[in-house]
Amino acid sequence: MYLKLFSLVAVVTLGLANFAESDPPSITSAQPNLSTNTIAISGTGFGSVRPTVNLSTTPLTVTSFSPTAITATLPTGLNAGTYALVVTSNSPPTSSAVLDVTIGAVGPAGPMIIPVRAVC
């Protein structure tokens, strides 16, 4: 009787371990490489199941991944600009992280505004 009860508890406990919540994804950096047409993404919580990566609304092909790094292929002919990079962890529970990424030429810095104090 005790052995059967212990076996049942062990099976239920081990089964629930697969449904434990993982940390949500967080993107710490993204480095596009236009010569190889790839983007290297660093962060945490990407999960153990292949994540989904989108550049704005364009899905990217994930070529390698780990819980802390992703490499994906950029689309050919991508226009220079700033895009929303969205990484969705497909490990339960599914959740996403977003980072704005500038790809291509970056324009010059805008003018600096120097605050002026009025003296009365």
pLDDT digits (tens, 9 = 90+) for 15-40: 444 445 578 999 999 999 999 999 99
Distance CA 70, CA 39 (A): 8
- Asked whether the predicted pLDDT for residue 43 surpasses 50, the reply is yes
Mean pLDDT of 76-81: 91
Helix (H, G, I), strand (E, B) or coil at 1: coil
pTM higher than 0.85, yes or no? Answer: no
Query: Domain ranges in the chain?
Result: 25-103
Q: Which of 82, 75, 78 minimizes the C-alpha distance to 107?
A: 82
Question: How crowded is residue 62: how many other Cβ atoms within 10 Å of its Cβ?
Answer: 17
- Percent of the chain's residues with pLDDT above 70: 70
Res 25: pLDDT: 95
Half-sphere exposure of 91 (CA within 13 A, CB side): 19
Q: Kindly report the CATH class assigned to 25-103.
A: mainly beta
Region of residue 26 (left: phi > 0; alpha: psi -120 to 50; beta: else): beta
Res 22: pLDDT: 73
